[in-house]
Chain A
Amino acid sequence: MTTTLTRPVSTVAFPRLALVHYRYGFLETVRVPMAVLGTMLFPALALLFFVVPQRAVAGDPLAAAAATAQLAVFAVMSTSVFTYGIGVAEDRAQPFDPYLRTLPAGPWPRMVGRVLNGTTWSLLGLVPPILVAVLLTEASIPFDRFLLSVLLVMLAGIPFLLIGLTIGYLMSSKAATAVAQVVVFPLAFAGGLFLPPETFPGWLDTLSTFLPSRAARDLVVSAATGADLPATALPVLLGWTVAFALLTAYAYRRDEGRRFH
């Protein structure tokens, strides 16, 4: 009988594969800039139109920093829900997606590449509002607080990443686009990302306390300005993270079962 081909068979190392998926995922996103441009510019525009003209806020270093922190949370939240929610749903609809499953890589390099890509865009989304704050307001905080705030805004983005993934794995791309919008804006308003929660009526303030957007806002504003961190913030963030980690796992398995059983 024919001799067997005995080439050494080894797969490509995981970190390299993850970087390959990151690189091409990023390229795909950057080639269709409209998909991210709106999301990226909205927080800076909000700052420009609603905060900069109010001298009472823009002229006060801490108040301006707090307003910027709120919009930074919005930037990360909307980027996460949109890029993961719509991105995953669109990818699932592409015939290229099952093809990638036939390549010698498990599902994780793609997932890690996806998260790195989303993180990159979230970080990029922080640049415009911070630039507006630095150039056009009196916002001023020590550099170590600034770094801590950026770190925390990214960490506080995790539940939104998971909300995005849940939407992406559960829904068609059309439904995901609609649902992502419906989720992001009410969460932002009720979470005090556009108007500070101090202006809320009592019932809304109470409701707001249980939202991940409010908890993320409180955490980042506290880091940026030194304001007291409400005791509810961390447990609320953690609760949403655990809940949506479970939901993401459920949605992912359900999708796998449907398409790749």
Chain B
Amino acid sequence: MTTHDLPISVEHVTRRFGETVALDDVSLAVRPGEMVGLLGPNGAGKTTLLSLVEGLRQPDAGTVRVFGSDPRTAAARVRLGSTPQETGLPPSLRVAEVVDFVGRHYPDPVPTADLLDTFGLTDLARRQTGGMSGGQKRRLAVALAVVGRPDLVVLDEPTTGLDVDARHVLWDALRSFHASGATVVVTSHYLEEIQALAERVVVVDHGHVLADAPLEEILGRVAMRRVTLELGAGHAARLAGLGGVVQHQVEPSGRHVLMTPDADLVVRSLVGAEIPFRDLEVRTATLEEAFLALTRKEAA
């Protein structure tokens, strides 16, 4: 397959902002019809990567191609759909007007009425965007990404801050859009969102691709538990070697933190080894905590 057929081809891309290296020699190819989730904590480099694909910024080194063309040329972006970052819509324009305005940039846009219907915005057609709720704005923003019938859609945190119902409406719309043959790339720092949308997951942190694998595999790697406990002096060294522990840290308060994919195993080992722990707590690790554990493990 040549780069001409690839919706996204990123080769050895480095991008700095002053001293910060946002992307460090990143390569990524997205094939036609894929539904890819870019997963990583805030500041990982996801948004920078998308801004390169959208033609908003230039890489310092390496090449970015969208369907084989430089996305900084307008013609290359005719097959690309994206959403306004944040919920920044022109407040004085009406919903139908914004859809019409954006749609007119494409040769064969979805009729405004149809699009509003798909996204449940028909009743709001004449509302000025300044008078919409956050969730309604998000729906409109995602609708704008698909108004031009693009072959590739990139969405940056599409449902951040939405309630459960609104989130499901958007996910359904995106899944049916993907089912119609389009390639979809979604960034998120919510595992749940990636889980709902992606078939392939690319984990990014500190400007590096940490993992690039099918959803199931990634889920197994980031689904971690955080076990914390207090411990008498002299026993700390025994924790790191414990079965199932990926990472061992001591908090400033003196509590020991163990990251593990299998909390049951850790607790059984603790008891089995007769380690005198107190005040045990187990909870699901946040994605960020899981990432940190993964990153350190791989760096070690």
Contact = CB atoms under 8 A, between A and B. Distances in A.
Contacts of B84: 95-96, 99
Given A5-B32, A95-B88, A102-B54, A24 B78 contact: no
Contacts of A20: 101, 104-105
A218 B18 CA distance: 50
B88 A96 contact: yes
A31 B94 CA distance: 10
Interface string A1-16: 1111101011110001
B233 interface: no
Interface in A11-53: 11-12, 16-17, 20, 24, 27-28, 31-32
A9 B78 contact: yes
A188 to B, nearest CB: 29
A94 interface: yes
A94 B56 CA distance: 15
A261 interface: yes
A200 B137 CA distance: 56
Contacts of B88: 94-96, 99
B93 A12 contact: no
Interface in B62-106: 74-80, 82-90, 92-93, 97, 101-102, 104-106
A1 B32 CA distance: 9
A57 to B, nearest CB: 40
Contacts of B31: 1-2
B269 interface: no
A260 B74 contact: no
A98 B56 contact: yes
Contact of B33 (A2, A24, A31, A95): A2
B78 A10 contact: yes
A172 B76 CA distance: 31
A101 B32 contact: no
B57 A260 contact: yes
A94 B90 contact: yes
Contact of A2 (B32, B55, B75, B78): B32
A105 interface: yes
A149 to B, nearest CB: 34
Contacts of B128: 31
Given A20-B104, A102-B54, A4 B75 contact: no
Contacts of B77: 102-104
B58 interface: yes
Contact of B101 (A7, A16, A24): A24
- Place the interface of chain A in its size category: 20 to 34
- Residue from A5, A94, A106 with most neighbouring chain B CB atoms (10 Å): A5
A11 B90 contact: no
Interface string B17-47: 0000000000000011100000000000000
Interface in B193-245: none
- Place the interface of chain B in its size category: 35 or more
Contacts of A98: 56, 85
A102 B80 contact: yes
A10 to B, nearest CB: 5
B164 interface: no
B78 A260 contact: no
B101 A31 contact: no
Contacts of B57: 260-261
- Residue from A11, A20, A96, A260 with most neighbouring chain B CB atoms (10 Å): A96
Contacts of B157: none
B32 A105 contact: no
A17 B104 contact: yes
A16 B90 CA distance: 21
Contacts of A28: 90, 92-93
Contacts of A94: 88, 90
Nearest to A96: B88
A101 B92 contact: no
17 contacts: A1-B1, A20-B104, A27-B97, A28-B90, A28-B93, A94-B90, A99-B82, A99-B88, A99-B144, A101-B54, A102-B80, A102-B82, A103-B105, A104-B77, A104-B78, A104-B148, A260-B57
Given A2-B33, A24-B90, A24-B97, 18 more contacts: A4-B5, A10-B107, A17-B104, A20-B104, A20-B105, A27-B93, A31-B92, A95-B87, A96-B84, A99-B84, A99-B88, A101-B54, A102-B56, A104-B75, A104-B78, A104-B105, A105-B105, A260-B56
**Nearest 6 pairs between A and B by C-beta?**
A95-B88, A31-B92, A99-B84, A104-B78, A102-B54, A103-B105
